[in-house]
Structure 1
Amino acid sequence: ILGFKSFPEATRVDLDTGITAIVGPNGSGKSNVTDAIRWGLSEQSAKILRGQRMSDMIFSGTAQRRAMSYAEVILTFDNSKRVFDLDYDTVSISRRYHRSGESEYFINKTACRLKDVNTLLVDTGIGLDGYSIVGQGKIDEILNERSDDRRLIFDEASGIVQFKSRKAESERRLERANQNLLRVDDILEELRRQAGPLKKQAEDARRYSELNDRYRKLDISLSWMQIKDFEKQAAEAENNQNIAALELIDAEAALTAINKNNSRLDDEIAELEITMESERKAHNELSVKLADTTGAIALSREKESSSEERMQQLEDEKLRLNEQISILANTVIDRQERHSQLEKQCKSYEGRLQEAKEALAEAVSGLSKSEKETDDLKRSREDLKDNLFQVNSDLQTAKAENSFLQDHLNTSSAELSGDQSDLNRAIFALEEVSAQLEELQAELVQFEQAAEEMKAVRVKAEEKLEDIDQSIIQLKDSERQRAYEEDTLSRLEQSFEGYQKPVKDLMQAIRHKEELRTGVVGPLGSLLNIPEDLALAVDVALGAMVHNIVCDTEDTAKTLIGFLREQNLGRVTFLPQAALQVNKIGRGSLDTLRTEKGFVGLASDLIKIRPGLENVLDFALGRVLIADSLDDAIKIARKSGRKYRIVSRSGDIMYPGGSMSGGSLSNRQSGLAGRPARIRALQEERLDIGKKIANIESEYNAALDQLHLAAANEEDSLNRLSQKRSVFAESEFDYKSKDNHLTALKNSVYKRQSAIEKTKEQIDSSQAAYQDAELKSASLRDQIASLDDKIARA
């Protein structure tokens, strides 16, 4: 003993041959030894072991010792005489119980079941059912027991309990086998009924298998052909892909070359622009040089012209002087010719000649001073002409530059006007696209809402279809359940299952033997049609009468009784219809009781029986009243003088004379008497469910059509939405393109306006320079004209 009650330490108790006594003061644990033995022999009642629960068997601890977590008892027996059916000289039976509630059993330290321990102890006289352990008061209990209970003691002592247990176990197995056979018969019957449909189904399955094999072969062939086509298409696609890849490579190479060429051209363009700019500068410089050269040439020509005029003037002056010299020479000659003549006069004229020479010298001197002034004036005139030529050259340059700038301004203005027109058109086009985009956005929102609505309609249709489908499934399950219950009850009714064994055997014999069938109607329970709410009350009221067999006469009953006796089938009560004496409650008494609260009616009036058997129903239930409750039954019994049997709906009974019966029933709602009514109710329920299924299936078809329509509408809406989104995306891309183009045009217009303003500033500057040059040119012309006047006067 270890951890059991007051034994915290392992304790060994040896029970030798003879008598072993255990003595000690009260509370020392003497009784705990016998409790340990009894507990080790698999006692399951804690109260017999003087405890409240099984955990009380474990040592609970003291102030000095802690509590144990488990209790264990090992019983070791001498098996040299083979008291136990084990081939061991010693047999140990162990039991261990933990505080967690787990219990373990061992035989010779090998884990086993409680059943194995009880089986080992059967017919050994050591078991709990025997009296190898006799406690206090047990002798008085044995003496006061009934003879049947005392017999168990002798059975245990004589060793026949094992055989009775085996017999009971065999009978239980036999009963289960009978039930299984009955179930097998039901299954066979069901299979026989299903054989025809199954045969047809098998034929259909065979046909289906053949067609399926043919279909699979055709499908495989078709799939093979499709695979070939797909492989061919894949090969073509691969070739096309390779070609496209090569073309892509070529295109990329060409694009690279084009990009390189574009880069080169951009570089060349940049170089050309630089060259053009330098050429433009050189051109401008050459233009200036050309203007200078032209001015210089004009000045040279003007100087040449002045030189030629001066030469002409000098030639004229030379001619004049030569003429004068000629005149003077002629005069000298004349004078020389006349010298001789005038020699005389020479002297007289020498004074006058001297005077003339002095006058001539004075004239020549005055002529040289005038020519010097004239040369100075001409040189000043030449300088002014050079200045005028330079001013005219600047004037021509300013005029050319002004003309160039004016042409550039006109070109830029024309281009600006074109850009403004393009800008206005781009703004108008952008506004149109923006308005179109807003319309498309609104339409897109409408289409999305329509798509959502169609989706909601489709989801609602799916949910409705799912609900209807679930309803159909539930109804079909209910129909199958009722059909199964109806079929089961019908087979039970046909096989008279549930009736007493003699009744069942007799009815099966009557079914197979035609000579016994004459005059037999059947068990009373199978002839009644009882309302569902009264099934329990009528079943209780009939009691064993439900097993009574209804026949036509006493002779038929006599014949059947003889058959039962010959076949040793047992006893059966018969109800010969011709011999029954009916003592039905009178209408007056019923009318008196009908006013009572809770009065339902006379049982024979509330149920139905097969036509022609009304006297049998009156005989069985003609003096049974039905009330709503036990209280109502008590009141009705008091008023009727307790002369009738009264049954409540819950199965409580008031017997004539005042005795009562009632309480709980063994989980039954209706017994044999309610079985036919239940079968008919199941048939009606199944028909109603079939009608509901037909109606709901029509609703299912309508809902399916609605779902298809909703799905089609949703698909159409989604297609339109997709198309509208594509149009919207195109319009949005167009809007962005036009917006970018508008931005570019605005930038171009701004740049051109800036360039035009700059050109206008340059034109104004050139115009001012031109006007200054004109003023200088006019001033120089005036100075030259003044000098010309002075030269002319000189």
Structure 2
Amino acid sequence: MFISDLKLHGFKSFANKANMNFGEGITAVVGPNGCGKTNIVDAIRWVLGEQKYSILRSGRMEDIIFNGAKGLKPLSVCEVSLTVHNNKGKLPIEYNDVEIGRRIYRNGDSEYTINRTPCRLKDIHDLFVDTGMGADAYSVIELKMIEQILSETAEDRKRMFEEAAGINKYKTQRKSAIRKFEATRQDLDRINDIILEVKTKVHGLNLQLKRFKRHENMTRYLKESEISLAFLKIVNYEELAKPLYKKIEEFKRIRESKETKESIHEAKLVRLREVYQQQDKELISLQDELKTLEEERDEYHQNVLVYTEQKRSAESTLERLHLEKKSNDTKRDKLSTHINGIEQEIESLNPLVEAKLVEYKEKKQTFDSVEMEYEKAQASVEKLQSKRWEEQRKVSDQESLFKRTESLIEEKTKLIQKLEKNLEFLEKNQVEYSSQQKTIEQEKTNIQNKLNKKNTKLTEHKSILLTLKEDHQELAQKRHYVLTQAESLESQLQFYRELVAKGEGLPGGSRYILDRKEDYPEVFGTIADLFQVDEKYQSAIDSALGDLAFCLVAKDRKTALSVLETVRGKKVGNMSIIPLKELSASVPGLKPLPKNKEVIGRGSDMVKTKRSFQALVEFLLGNLLLVNDLKEAIKGTNLAGWNTVDLSGDYFGKNMILWTPDKSGKGVVGRREKIEHLQREIDVLGKKAESLKNKILFYEDDITKKEEELEGFSIEISTLLEERSAVEAKIIQNHYQQAQIM
């Protein structure tokens, strides 16, 4: 696999279209300074998906578009396409030649293509992952990058080796799988809340079912009663309808006499409607013809404008092509002379290339042996990791089964207790009703009085129960919100604890000393642990301190030298340490703050620490200015001699170095204070959740009692309604029998 073709148009200094063909071997691009050699490398990195304009040596992404020159106008778009010959099948695509294209406009819009088919930036990254090619891969080495690679930390070099070994794809897939597992775990936690909500709804539906059955019985009885009543009304209505039938006959005779006159008027109306419809059709046809003529007129006018514009465009194109032809003839002559010189230089470099090739093969053999050892170690780590995940999954399944069983037992126990109470209540009512034997009318009066009283109590209890349920629901929502906040803070706390425990970013020697802190009581810890900063200024102070945040602080120079000697003897890695006593004696005086509307304050004023470490704060951050916006602040002329940083972490030093930090959000300074703050908040939320839980249990007891009382009232009312219905049925039946006799 190799790059076979590169096409550029409008990229940086390439104003006109340029096409470069590369062979399978080594291709060298030579020329004087400023001719665009580095721009070719930038174009390759950009078309492979580079998003950082600083790496492309630009102030912003739109600056890579050709901005005009003497005799050439600026362009509004730039485009680069790269053809890769996939002869070994390393790219996961069926084509032998793969063309990657990227286009950007001045308004910021960007387009990506694979074989001239629109695609996403992610598709290009996935295509070249673990192939050694990519925007940030080791295959593209630019000016000063060798020095940068040699000065990188062990973690950065590890990433480069992993890219070369081809395992980044699998690490990305592993992270994606872990994120999915976490999302699934949160969904499982949410299921328990849903189960509780469904149980509450099922209980309410059971009560509604019982009410529906009572309503069905009463509806059936009401239907029978209405039929009996309807029979009596029908007899009365028939008597009343006889004189009305006679009046209807008279009105019919009158209507027939008037229908003859109406038929004459209707015939005349029909003739007039036919004339109107015919005239309406003629009007519609004339309107259609007029509309067609207007459309033809507009079309001819539009064609005239188009042909005029095409003529102007063709004339300007002919002039531009004539100029390009002259320019290309001149370039062709220069390039012919240049190619002859390059061929002579290539002949002189061939012996040196062969010697370097032999040296490369020796280094390659050594690298292959190291790579095999690394792959074996990686395989054993992955095997242990998968075993740990399997054990965790088994424990989670067992806990879930135990909780479901325990919840089912508790639900069945409550149901049995409730049924026993209802049975006892029904037995008492049966004894009371069997003792009441009075006359029919007197019994109906007594039942109605009792029914009115029970309905009043039932309405009062329903109102109380509704209020209790609303309060219970509100408390449950508050508790759920508190628990959600606690879980979120718990995940943050776990994240910061893992960072502190792993010692992320710490050099090996510093981590060794901190793991044995009891053996070195005169080492106070890292600067990041000793300083506390408000979250608002976290990014700014982290960026200003940089690697100094991981520097250890010792009591004095003697202690510092002793610790360094120990680390050197143990060979546990590098470290840096500051003697506090000597530093405190050499702290310079603080300069007054410059007058600039963007200045927030001095960096040392934004840091909280013990009084004994205040000199350290002034030494490191006394010459640092915090500003709102770095771009606006450095426009002023009174910030000379100051280090400047804005709230997002962008830093400009007095040594004229400008850089921006990693925006991943992993703050270093004040981690331990953050952990203590999170733990306090979690404790407060835990107590609040426990208090809400006790209130919810109290309300649940009250609701259960009220529901049982309502159930009792409902049964009593149902019994009274049935008795009243039976009495009324006897009365209606008696009336019905009297009507039948009559």
TM class by shorter chain equals 0.3 to 0.5
Determine which structure has greater relative contact order: mean sequence separation of CA pairs < 8 Å that are 6+ residues apart, divided by chain length: 1
Larger radius of gyration: 1
